[in-house]
Homo-oligomer: A and B are copies of this chain.
């Protein structure tokens, strides 16, 4: 097997460095040191740290996409279970990577949107794709009489995304999985509850 290119090495390592240190806290020096490559390499492969940030964000999103395919878009699961499986899988994934670093999409959302139109555009796109997948699961659940249908599926999807990002933020600050447990307990018995009489 061919060795990974230097570019690939910097990206792979950079996802972790930016996740752990934050975008502002991860300088080119830290990024290249963690990747084990000379600092001068960086500019051979990336136009700027901002351009690198966009690549890292996409790489992070690809991983969540894989989780989404197995859970949120898994047509063999009942719709409400797709949502439950998605939140559980992301939680498990973040725990494995050390949940104290939280979700990179959320972290970057609050760190970079005022500084970078490029990164903000990527974040908006990633969240729109996630919201759309949530909305599809909610609509399927409503059609199958498994999720209450007195709410607009788009509203519910947007609410799911923001509440979930908020729960991951609290997890990061509290350094505890409790906010995620509370999110699950409240969400599934209210917003994602079965219709009355079902």
Residues on A facing B (Cβ under 8 Å): 20-22, 24-25, 100-102, 106-107, 109-111, 113-115, 120, 123-124, 127, 148, 150-152, 154-156, 158-159, 161-167, 169-170, 172-174, 178-179, 182-183, 185-187, 189-191, 193, 196
Majority-rule SS of A interface residues: helix
Alpha-carbon gap, A185 to B182, bound state (A):
20
Name the contact of A173 in the complex, choosing from B20, B124, B170 (C-beta under 8 A). B124
Q: Which residue of B lies closest to A101 (CB)?
A: B114
A162-B163, A166-B166 as given contacts; A189 in contact with B151, CB under 8 Å:
yes
Closest 5 CB pairs of A and B: A166-B166, A162-B166, A24-B24, A163-B163, A159-B186
Chain B residue numbers with a CB within 8 Å of A101 are 114
Q: Which residues of B contact A114 (CB under 8 A)?
A: 20-22, 25, 100-101
- Cα distance A163–B165 in the bound complex, in angstroms: 8
- Once the chains are docked, how many angstroms separate the CA of A162 from the CA of B115? 25
A163 touches B169 (CB 8 A): no
Do B162 and A110 touch (CB < 8 A)?
Answer: no
Q: Please tell me if the beta carbons of A167 and B173 are within 8 angstroms of each other in the complex.
A: no
Instruction: Report the bound CA distance from A158 to B123 in whole Å.
Output: 26
Most interface-central of A155, A172, A190 (chain B CB within 10 A): A190
* A114-B25, A163-B163, A169-B110 known; A124 vs B186 contact (CB < 8 Å): no
Partner of A182 from the list B110, B123, B158 (CB cut-off 8 Å) is B158
Q: How far is the CA of A161 from the CA of B179 in the complex (A)?
A: 10
Write the chain B residue with the least CB distance to A163: B163
CA of A180 to CA of B148, assembled, Å: 21
22 cross-chain CB contacts under 8 A: A22-B115, A24-B24, A24-B111, A25-B114, A101-B114, A110-B169, A113-B173, A151-B186, A151-B190, A154-B182, A155-B186, A159-B163, A159-B183, A162-B163, A162-B166, A162-B182, A163-B166, A164-B166, A165-B166, A165-B169, A186-B191, A196-B196
